[in-house]
């Protein structure tokens, strides 16, 4: 890997090294469904105006940690913890944890393309989890914890594939990367108690 990319990984690793990742263990409360789209507008409280945003979805283990990490990337407007890639509508946390729904714990990221790039999000994604372990992150095991990039456009797919190939070619990780790169399916917001969990509770999964 070139020096610039290595430095970026080092920065992200240092910034988030104190953030640890729990396994499934809470009761469902409520959730809202979000439709799949690449470009959305988000109302800002201060300016009381709409900000054009692009949309990205990542799965990198327990979504408590992933949401916190992505929310700290400059240019990110909003993050939501939720479920993607499954075979049933409106999944509950229990269904996801029981492996009956096929969903992945993911984080939906809305970002301002004028202030950051999809490439920056990919940097944060790959620098802050182990993409070489299949269906596992630390002590958390199960297909809901798999490493996956859900792309929302052909451009995102191409960029994610290229980035993954560069990481493998430069042996950034000792083992081959198993991160899947798949088209985004419908994203369902997780229950309220999962949202911004680290901010509210000061802890993440492990």
What's the pLDDT tens digit per position in 40-91?
A: 555 545 445 587 999 999 999 999 999 999 999 999 999 999 999 999 999 9
HSE on the CB side for 49, CA within 13 Å? 3
Q: Where are the domains of the chain?
A: 51-201
CB atoms within 10 A of CB 182: 16
The topology under which CATH files domain 51-201 is 3.30.1060
- Catalytic residue from among 24, 62, 97, 205: 62
Confidence tier at 39 by pLDDT (50, 70, 90): low
CA-based nearest residue to 204, from 21, 13, 16: 21
| Tens of pLDDT, residues 100-113 | 999 999 999 999 99
Q: How many residues does the chain have?
A: 206
The pLDDT > 90 percentage for the chain reads 70
Angle ∠(43,200,34) on CA atoms, nearest 5: 40
Q: Is 62 a catalytic residue?
A: yes
Confidence tier at 33 by pLDDT (50, 70, 90): very low
Q: Tell me what the mean pLDDT of segment 127-155 comes to.
A: 95
d(CA 138, CA 148) in angstroms, rounded, equals 16
What are phi and psi for residue 168, nearest 5 degrees? -65, -45
pLDDT at 42: 59
Is the full-model pTM beyond 0.85?
no
Secondary structure class of 205 (helix, strand, coil):
coil
Structure tokens that stand for 20 in this block: 């640890």
CA-based nearest residue to 164, from 186, 174, 179: 179
């Amino acid at each position: 890997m070139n020096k610039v990319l290595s430095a970026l990984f080092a920065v992200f690793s240092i910034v988030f090294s104190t953030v640890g990742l729990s396994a499934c263990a809470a009761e469902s409360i409520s959730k809202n469904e979000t439709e799949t789209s690449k470009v959305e507008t988000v109302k800002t409280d201060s300016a009381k105006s709409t900000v054009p945003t692009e949309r990205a979805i990542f799965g990198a283990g327990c979504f408590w940690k992933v949401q916190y990490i992505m929310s700290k990337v400059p240019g990110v407007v909003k993050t939501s913890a939720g479920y993607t890639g499954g075979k049933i509508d409106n999944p509950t946390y229990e269904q996801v944890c029981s492996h009956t729904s096929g969903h992945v714990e993911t984080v939906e990221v809305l970002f301002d393309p004028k202030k950051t790039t999809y490439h920056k999000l990919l940097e944060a994604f790959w620098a802050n989890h182990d993409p070489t372990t299949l269906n596992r992150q630390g002590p958390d095991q199960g297909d809901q914890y798999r490493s996956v990039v859900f792309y929302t456009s052909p451009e995102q797919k191409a960029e994610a594939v290229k980035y993954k190939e560069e990481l493998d070619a430069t042996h950034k990780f000792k083992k081959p990367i198993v991160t899947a790169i798949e088209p985004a399916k419908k994203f369902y917001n997780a229950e309220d108690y999962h949202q911004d969990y680290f901010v509210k509770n000061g802890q993440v999964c492990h």
